[in-house]
Amino acid sequence: MKNTYLEKIMASFQSASDWVFQNIPPEATATMGLDAESSLFVRYNNHRVRQNTHVEQATAKLLLTWQKKSYRFHFSLTSDVHEDLKKIKINLLKILADWDKLLSENLDFKIAPAQTSSTYLWSDLDSSQILTFVSEATSRLDFTGLVTIGPVLTCVRNSAGVSHEFLTELVTIDYSIYDGPRAAKGLYSSRAWNEHEFLQQLKHSQTLLESMKKTKIELKPDYYRVYLAPGAVSEMAQMLNWGGVSQRAYKLGRNPLKRLIENEVTLSPELNVTEDFELGLGPQFNSQGEKSATRLPIIQKGKILNLLTSTKSALEFNLESTLADEEEGFRSMSIDTGKLKRDQIFSALDTGIFISNLHYLNWSNPMDARITGMTRYACLWIENGEIQGPIADLRFDDTLYDLWGPDLEAVTEFSEVEPQTTSYFQRHLGGKRTPGMLIKKMKFTL
Amino acid sequence: MSLVHRLQNFISACKNEVEYLGVKIVTEKTTQISVRNELSEGLSTQIDSGIRIEVMMNQHIGYASTSDTSDDGLQRAFKYAKAQTKFLSQHKAYPFSGAIRSTTQGVYRSQIQKPLDSLSLGEIQNVLRECTQKMNQAPAIFFRSASASIVETEETKLDSRGSEWSQYFSIVNLDLIVRAQDKNDIQTRSHNLCLQIGAEVFLRSLLFPLTEQITREVLELIHAPVCAKEVCDIIVSPDQMALQIHETVGHPLEIDRILGDERNYAGWSFVRMEDFGHLKYGTSKMNITFEPERFSELGSYSFDDSGLKGEKHYLIKDGLLVRGLGSLESSQRSQAAPVANFRSSSWNRPPTDRMANLNLESGTKPLKDIIASVENGIWMSTNRSWSIDDYRRKFQFGCEYGLRIQDGQIQGVVKNPNYHGVSVSFWNKLAEISNEAGVYGAYYCGKGEPNQLIRVGHASPYCLFKDIEVF
């Protein structure tokens, strides 16, 4: 192990999980997970460093199942084997003493069968060199965002012999560049820092920002023909993770794609969405230690082929598990490309809005798959294939059944990979690959 | 030796190596209990703990956090903090003076009646199970859920200037949700309680009436007509007003947003520094306060992470924007008066400008008089959908439950009510506020890079807004 902290954490995790596996009641099962990282976060505002934070954190996650009951105990690992063992002993013995008084669940849990895997993708990232380069390369720009450097480790073991380990070391630069109120978005993420590739990405953002120099255009709320760039499609596709492809959400009455699932409507035959671990953005095993299929089609030719189904949901609703995680959202989403060529986007759009990004989406009427959200960053009014100027931000409110249904005119022949950048509580792995989409009409309301 | 004693020794030994040295230790225990249709839907405990070191070098503040609370872990974090802060100080955004940290001593405790551990997990499960049982009133109801997150947090901050303060929080976030189906339509009705409170929140006499109300209302909803599209008056209930205040007042007034720190994530703000003292944010009935010391609200505390003591301030007085949500750091950068809002989600994230309790002051009119004054309107309760732009102007909110009002009388229930507007023009349509208020909050308020979730409180009366686009 190249990182002293992670090495100590791993030893402590193994010691704690060994103790759990040896000390649970004979009929009980236990799964132990570990999420750990050693991360440097550097926040920039106008190419200057606003805050720098180094974080070493590790959380062990126990799932104990016995007699149609389950208990989860998550705790921070200190890396001191004795201290960490003490924490889990106290809590496990206490909950087992109260076990008879706890309410039952409606299923018997099933533990993942023995499997092992080990992936360690270390890099030789020199944070000082990267940060010096980023500071110099952006010194004439209003560059704002976050640079994240360091390894993320996730492991699962269980009492049936599962042992999965996955580590990836990344540098991620999630940024915006501003020219007054005009802004363009960029994302660079790699396991191997490459100055040239970062500069290319930055140059692309600058070109986009340059295209916004013209006078801002105020469009009235109406239906407009639009092109959604891959970043905007990614935001829209993210809504599928708000219950849209979840078996549990469907069974509990909160799946916004209910009508699609029940074949009342279909989406465009151009639309194919897959859970695709070939993207290599995160581990193929889930938090239960189950290894999912490398590729699982979810929407094929506009129809739902599978819902993401965890083993827990499968047991409860008497269905087949797809070995999804319990959240039943995409961990590695891929949307198939189509035929629209990059150099034909403006001419195919003809007159309409080029939308680089969307912002703050939400289901506005989940029974009708209706989504609302805002345009953000480089959104341009195009007339006869020519840029007329940036638009003032608009709110849309429209149903996915139309946008990805009869109104989906074309899908681009290229796609972009967007690694997961969220870091609530911890850095998250996974991501998406999305193409651009040409939409015949989209309803803007404000 | 206790951890606090070890940290005191650490600060004594290391304080001369930096311009400022602070250490914060946080331990948070969260128990989640969930019951669906009378059966357990999950039971978990999380104990999250760690330390955060902050150093000032060359007038730049930097942080290092670790869950490794051993002496070795502490020294390693200090080494990271020093090396990275010194190195990055050459690119610092602003040269801070020492006045960005306040020397403070004291203790804060949530005011509660019964400690959270006075009820066993089994006893709490039973109360929640009985709630789901109470929801079982009709065959159309197929989803009945009661769940609670029970949070006990201890935090202590020490620094090289002699600060030593501790805060002890007792928090419950409780959700009651009932769902019913009629043909192809599914409707949900819910109630959320999120407060600094003790085990007294699990009183059946408190929870059963709320359960009965949402159960009755979900059965009304599945047979109700869809809310019509029109421009009309709206009465907004306190639970929805909490979101209205949060999204269209709280976030745009955060000074670090106005200064651009947040532009790559949550966004910028339509408010400019020159607007303070000048912008007519709403009608003269609008009085918004920052109140971290208010009893029982979710965002109550005595000290922010800079050590500044929490005090009440008006942000909007008689409709005029008078003050922003800026910490001591933002105050130095913007020359605006500070409030104690420098907050972090936990030990592993740096503090930024956040809300605490942001409250709309009550008026004098009874709700029934406000209803009687409405010629044509919709009364909206409980948020179910929310979205706003990155400058916090154009919002769209959807609610679970609507009541149609005509000629001062409630005429019936409508489902799927939504409204949209633009923040300042919306608040300038505030026509009346009631003399009774509700206390709510946001258990998860997201912001920051790296991302942070924080808890904030909102108290609000019922409000009447004129001529709003409803659909």
Do B410 and B289 share a structural domain?
yes
> Mutating which of B263, B352, B391, B443 best tests the A interface, going by the most A Cβ atoms within 10 A?
B263
> Mutating which of A103, A133, A265, A358 best tests the B interface, going by the most B Cβ atoms within 10 A?
A103
Q: Which residues of A touch B186 (CB under 8 A)?
A: 253-254, 258, 367
Do B201 and B257 share a structural domain?
no
Query: What are B325-338's pLDDT values in tens digits?
Result: 999 999 999 999 99
Confidence at residue A257, expressed as pLDDT on a 0 to 100 scale? 98
**8 Å CB contact of A364 and B396:** yes
Q: Which residues of A touch B48 (CB under 8 A)?
A: 59, 74-76
Quick check: is A408 in a domain? yes
Kind of pairing, strands B20-36 and B141-159? antiparallel
Confidence at residue B351, expressed as pLDDT on a 0 to 100 scale? 98
Residue A2 has pLDDT above 90, yes or no: no
Do B215 and B92 share a structural domain?
yes
**B124 CB contacts (<8 Å, ≥6 apart)?**
B33, B148, B150, B202
Do A321 and A399 share a structural domain?
yes
Residue B427 has pLDDT above 90, yes or no: yes
Do B130 and B23 share a structural domain?
yes
For residues B73 and B66, is the Cβ–Cβ distance under 8 A? yes
Domain count, chain B: 2
Q: Which among B40, B62, B268 is the nearest to A103, CB-wise? A: B40
Q: Which residues of B touch A288 (CB under 8 A)?
A: none
CA distance A196 to chain B (A): 22
Instruction: Give the chain B residue nearest A88 (alpha carbons).
Output: B47
Confidence at residue B250, expressed as pLDDT on a 0 to 100 scale? 98
Quick check: is A71 in a domain? yes
Which of B183, B201, B221 delimits the end of a domain? B221
**8 Å CB contact of A145 and B449:** yes
**A112 CB contacts (<8 Å, ≥6 apart)?**
A31, A158, A160, A162, A288, A289, A290, A311
**8 Å CB contact of A252 and B61:** no
| DSSP track, B63-110 | EEEES--SHHHHHHHHHHHHHHHHHHGGGBS----GGGS---EEEEE-
Residue A341 has pLDDT above 90, yes or no: yes
Q: Which residues of B touch A135 (CB under 8 A)?
A: 91
Residue B468 has pLDDT above 90, yes or no: yes
Q: Which among B73, B87, B393 is the nearest to A128, CB-wise? A: B87
With vertex at residue A266, the alpha carbon angle to CA A265 and CA A272, rounded to the nearest 5 degrees, is 150
For residues A228 and A236, is the Cβ–Cβ distance under 8 A? yes
Do A357 and A289 share a structural domain?
yes
Confidence at residue B159, expressed as pLDDT on a 0 to 100 scale? 98
Task: Label residue B382 by pLDDT band (50, 70, 90).
Answer: very high
For residues B357 and B312, is the Cβ–Cβ distance under 8 A? no
Q: Determine the Cα–Cα distance for residues A33 and B432; give it in Å rounded to an integer.
A: 53
**8 Å CB contact of A425 and B453:** yes
Q: Which residues of A touch B44 (CB under 8 A)?
A: 71-74
Q: Determine the Cα–Cα distance for residues A346 and A344; give it in Å rounded to an integer.
A: 6
Q: Determine the Cα–Cα distance for residues B49 and B33; give it in Å rounded to an integer.
A: 21
**8 Å CB contact of B77 and A56:** yes
Task: For residue A22, count other CB atoms closer than 10 A to its CB.
Answer: 9
**B201 CB contacts (<8 Å, ≥6 apart)?**
B148, B172, B174, B193, B195
Do B64 and B43 share a structural domain?
yes
Percent of chain A at pLDDT exceeding 70: 100
Task: For residue A260, count other CB atoms closer than 10 A to its CB.
Answer: 22
Cis peptide before B115 (omega within 30 of 0): no
> Mutating which of A37, A38, A52 best tests the B interface, going by the most B Cβ atoms within 10 A?
A52
CA-nearest of A339, A336, A226 to A271 is: A336
- Residue with token string 């409204």: B419
For residues A417 and A433, is the Cβ–Cβ distance under 8 A? yes
The 10 Å CB-count burial string (b at 16+, else e) for B78-98 is: bebbbbbbebbbebbbbebee
HSE value, Cβ hemisphere, 13 Å, CA-based, for B87: 17
Query: What are A263-281's pLDDT values in tens digits?
Result: 999 999 999 999 999 999 9
Residue B240, CA distances (Å) to B184, B222, B418 in order: 27, 21, 11
Task: Label residue A108 by pLDDT band (50, 70, 90).
Answer: confident
CA-nearest of B414, B384, B385, B411 to B400 is: B384
Quick check: is A369 in a domain? yes
Do A251 and A163 share a structural domain?
no
Do A239 and A112 share a structural domain?
no
**A186 CB contacts (<8 Å, ≥6 apart)?**
A173, A175, A176, A177, A201, A202, A204, A205
**8 Å CB contact of A57 and B348:** yes
Q: Determine the Cα–Cα distance for residues B302 and B357; give it in Å rounded to an integer.
A: 12
Confidence at residue B406, expressed as pLDDT on a 0 to 100 scale? 98
**8 Å CB contact of B420 and A395:** yes
Quick check: is A424 in a domain? yes
* pLDDT, averaged across chain A: 97
Percent of chain B at pLDDT exceeding 70: 100
Instruction: Give the chain B residue nearest A9 (alpha carbons).
Output: B68
What residue numbers bound the domain in which B128 lies? Answer: 3-221
Q: Which residues of B touch A360 (CB under 8 A)?
A: 387-390
CA A217, distance to chain mean position in Å, is: 33
For residues A404 and A268, is the Cβ–Cβ distance under 8 A? yes
Confidence at residue A283, expressed as pLDDT on a 0 to 100 scale? 97
Q: Which among A42, A52, A395 is the nearest to B396, CB-wise? A: A395
Q: Which residues of A touch B264 (CB under 8 A)?
A: 144-146, 174-176, 185
Query: What are B395-423's pLDDT values in tens digits?
Result: 999 999 999 999 999 999 999 999 999 99
Task: Label residue B1 by pLDDT band (50, 70, 90).
Answer: confident
Query: What are A379-431's pLDDT values in tens digits?
Result: 999 999 999 999 999 999 999 999 999 999 999 999 999 999 999 999 999 99
Quick check: is A177 in a domain? no
**8 Å CB contact of A53 and B88:** no
Percent of chain A at pLDDT exceeding 90: 98
Q: Which among A55, A104, A146 is the nearest to B348, CB-wise? A: A55
Q: Determine the Cα–Cα distance for residues B255 and A327; give it in Å rounded to an integer.
A: 35
Residue type, A195: E
Looking at residues B95-124, what average pLDDT do you find?
97
Do A15 and A119 share a structural domain?
yes
For residues A136 and A143, is the Cβ–Cβ distance under 8 A? no
HSE value, Cβ hemisphere, 13 Å, CA-based, for A357: 19
Do B115 and B74 share a structural domain?
yes
**8 Å CB contact of A252 and B143:** yes
Looking at residues B30-46, what average pLDDT do you find?
97
Q: Determine the Cα–Cα distance for residues B386 and B250; give it in Å rounded to an integer.
A: 15
Task: For residue A97, count other CB atoms closer than 10 A to its CB.
Answer: 9
**8 Å CB contact of B46 and A74:** yes
Q: Determine the Cα–Cα distance for residues B65 and A55; give it in Å rounded to an integer.
A: 5
CA B385, distance to chain mean position in Å, is: 17
Q: Determine the Cα–Cα distance for residues B257 and B388; give it in Å rounded to an integer.
A: 15
Do A273 and A353 share a structural domain?
yes
Do B281 and B336 share a structural domain?
yes
Predicted-complex ipTM score: 0.97
Confidence at residue A1, expressed as pLDDT on a 0 to 100 scale? 77
Do B135 and B238 share a structural domain?
no
CA distance B366 to chain A (A): 32
Q: Which residues of B touch A183 (CB under 8 A)?
A: 263
CA distance B435 to chain A (A): 31
Beta bridge partners of A168: A121, A152
**A262 CB contacts (<8 Å, ≥6 apart)?**
none
Compute the count of residue pairs across chains A and B with CB atoms less than 8 Å apart: 256
B261 token code pair: 């720190």
Positive/negative CA dihedral, A361, A364, A370, A373: negative
Residue B99 has pLDDT above 80, yes or no: yes
**A391 CB contacts (<8 Å, ≥6 apart)?**
A216, A217, A218, A219, A353, A375, A379, A380, A381
Quick check: is A218 in a domain? no
Q: Determine the Cα–Cα distance for residues B174 and B151; give it in Å rounded to an integer.
A: 11
Q: Determine the Cα–Cα distance for residues B271 and B250; give it in Å rounded to an integer.
A: 11
**8 Å CB contact of A446 and B188:** no
**B252 CB contacts (<8 Å, ≥6 apart)?**
B269, B270, B271, B391, B392, B423
Question: B360: alpha, beta or left, given left = phi > 0 and alpha = psi -120 to 50?
Answer: beta
Do B311 and B369 share a structural domain?
yes
Which of B178, B198, B221 delimits the end of a domain? B221
What residue numbers bound the domain in which A301 lies? Answer: 223-443
| DSSP track, A46-107 | TTEEEEEEEEEEEEEEEEEEETTEEEEEEEE--S-HHHHHHHHHHHHHHHHHHGGGSPP-SS
Kind of pairing, strands B185-196 and B230-236? unpaired
Do B177 and B259 share a structural domain?
no
Quick check: is A144 in a domain? no
The CATH number for B134's domain is 3.30.2290.10
**8 Å CB contact of A393 and B391:** yes
Instruction: Give the chain A residue nearest B125 (alpha carbons).
Output: A103
Looking at residues A47-71, what average pLDDT do you find?
98
Domain count, chain A: 2
For residues B101 and B160, is the Cβ–Cβ distance under 8 A? no
CA B183, distance to chain mean position in Å, is: 37
Question: B412: alpha, beta or left, given left = phi > 0 and alpha = psi -120 to 50?
Answer: left
Confidence at residue B22, expressed as pLDDT on a 0 to 100 scale? 98
Residue B55, CA distances (Å) to A164, B77, B89, B162 in order: 38, 11, 11, 15
Quick check: is A192 in a domain? no
**8 Å CB contact of A73 and B44:** yes
* pLDDT, averaged across chain B: 97
Query: What are B207-246's pLDDT values in tens digits?
Result: 999 999 999 999 999 999 999 999 999 999 999 999 999 9
Instruction: Give the chain A residue nearest B129 (alpha carbons).
Output: A103
Do A73 and A13 share a structural domain?
yes
Do B240 and B329 share a structural domain?
yes
Which of B190, B221, B252 delimits the end of a domain? B221
Confidence at residue B295, expressed as pLDDT on a 0 to 100 scale? 86
Q: Which among A55, A183, A364 is the nearest to B418, CB-wise? A: A364
Confidence at residue A389, expressed as pLDDT on a 0 to 100 scale? 96
Do B383 and B244 share a structural domain?
yes
